[in-house]
């Protein structure tokens, strides 16, 4: 009996990666997946965020991150430590106590505001009003598990660039999400958030294009329409950019992140 084709021995994730490789998703110089780099982020977002702003440039260098836990491992710590300023929001009081201790110097200098709030679709803009966030700013990171898509839809403010968690267990072409319930917390199953297509449609209402996802299938990246065309891989659709869930493929790469706040030196600034 002949051996089965090699593809049969691969995992589903391997097969999907091979398909993406064959269609040029990872070889296209405009693709973001190749820029995975991890200083403080969980899924290589540090490198992708840096590449996006390399292409579109920074303006006010202001970030908002919702869902930061202790702040030691998130999507904006590297921005903070390289001269950006911004707002962190989370509803875990013990985690925020740790963040306030570790990042006390940035709080004292006015570079960082930490807000203790459980964010909902009803209060998101009020929370940012209190934090002094302007109507438009450079970067938004949103990862609150259960109601992420609903909160992003409700957000009135505009960011030039956004990274938003999607549910990679859901089919790329299906515009579905969990029903909104501000009291519901993620139960650790695949019952959470919205599909990548859902986020694509929400982004469209905000004048933003879906320009890529991280390789682990956790976050989707969006850029303002006018700044996306010609700089990122098209088409800007969920089917073109969806990555399957590979949550346990890559842990933290390299040395562990510093447990103390730091300030990196930027060349030419």
Is 262 inside a domain boundary?
A: no
Measured CA angle at 185 (ends 165, 261), to 5 deg: 60
Predicted confidence at residue 2, as pLDDT, reads: 44
Domain that holds residue 58: 10-241
The β-bridge partners of 42 are: none
**CATH number of residue 23's parent domain:** 3.40.50.150
Is 73 inside a domain boundary?
A: yes
* Angstrom distances, CA of residue 57 to CA of 67, 68, 138, 227, 267: 25, 24, 9, 10, 15
Is 209 inside a domain boundary?
A: yes
Is 259 inside a domain boundary?
A: no
Coil/strand/helix, residue 221: strand
Supply φ then ψ for residue 157, to 5 degrees: -70, 160
Q: Taking the chain (269 residues) in consecutive chunks of 10 residues, what is each chunk's mean pLDDT? A: 43 62 77 90 94 98 96 96 97 95 97 97 97 97 94 98 97 95 90 96 98 94 98 96 81 69 72
Predicted confidence at residue 16, as pLDDT, reads: 61
- Domain tally, the chain: 1
In a 10 Å sphere around its CB, with 0-12 CB exposed, 13-18 middle and 19+ buried, how is residue 207 labelled? exposed
Predicted confidence at residue 267, as pLDDT, reads: 76
Predicted confidence at residue 3, as pLDDT, reads: 44
Contact 33, 214 (CB under 8 A): yes
Q: How many Cα neighbours within 13 Å face the side chain of 32?
A: 36
Measured CA angle at 155 (ends 116, 104), to 5 deg: 30
Is 108 inside a domain boundary?
A: yes
Is 92 inside a domain boundary?
A: yes
What letter does residue 261 receive in the DSSP assignment?
A: -
Listed residue (146, 147, 90, 95) closest to 118, CA to CA: 90
Predicted confidence at residue 33, as pLDDT, reads: 83
The β-bridge partners of 222 are: 162, 210
- Supply the pTM of this predicted model: 0.89
Is 252 inside a domain boundary?
A: no
**Structure token digits, residue 121:** 């679709």
Is 253 inside a domain boundary?
A: no
DSSP 136-150: EEEEEEE--GGGHHH
Predicted confidence at residue 25, as pLDDT, reads: 75
């Amino acid at each position: 009996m002949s051996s089965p084709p090699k593809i049969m021995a691969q995992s589903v994730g391997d097969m999907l990666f091979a398909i993406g490789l064959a269609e040029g998703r990872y070889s296209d110089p405009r693709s973001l997946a190749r820029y995975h780099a991890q200083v403080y982020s969980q899924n290589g977002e540090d490198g992708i965020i840096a590449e996006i702003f390399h292409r579109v440039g920074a303006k006010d260098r202001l970030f908002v991150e919702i869902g930061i836990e202790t702040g030691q491992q998130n999507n904006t710590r590297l921005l903070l430590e390289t001269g950006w300023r911004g707002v962190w929001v989370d509803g875990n009081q013990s985690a925020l106590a740790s963040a306030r201790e570790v990042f006390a110097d940035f709080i004292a200098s006015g570079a960082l505001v930490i807000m203790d709030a459980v964010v909902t679709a009803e209060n998101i803009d009020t929370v940012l009003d209190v934090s002094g966030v302007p109507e438009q700013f450079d970067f938004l990171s949103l990862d609150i598990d259960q109601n992420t898509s609903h909160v992003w839809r409700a957000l009135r403010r505009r960011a030039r660039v956004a990274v938003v968690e999607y549910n990679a267990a859901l089919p790329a072409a299906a515009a579905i999400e969990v029903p909104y319930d501000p009291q519901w917390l993620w139960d650790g199953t695949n019952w959470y958030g919205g599909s990548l297509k859902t986020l694509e449609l929400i982004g469209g209402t905000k004048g933003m294009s879906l320009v890529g996802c991280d390789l682990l299938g956790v976050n989707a990246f969006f850029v303002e329409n006018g700044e996306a065309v010609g700089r990122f891989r098209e088409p800007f659709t969920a089917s073109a950019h969806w990555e399957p869930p590979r949550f346990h493929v890559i842990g933290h790469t390299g040395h562990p992140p510093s447990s103390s706040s730091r300030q990196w030196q930027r060349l030419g600034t």
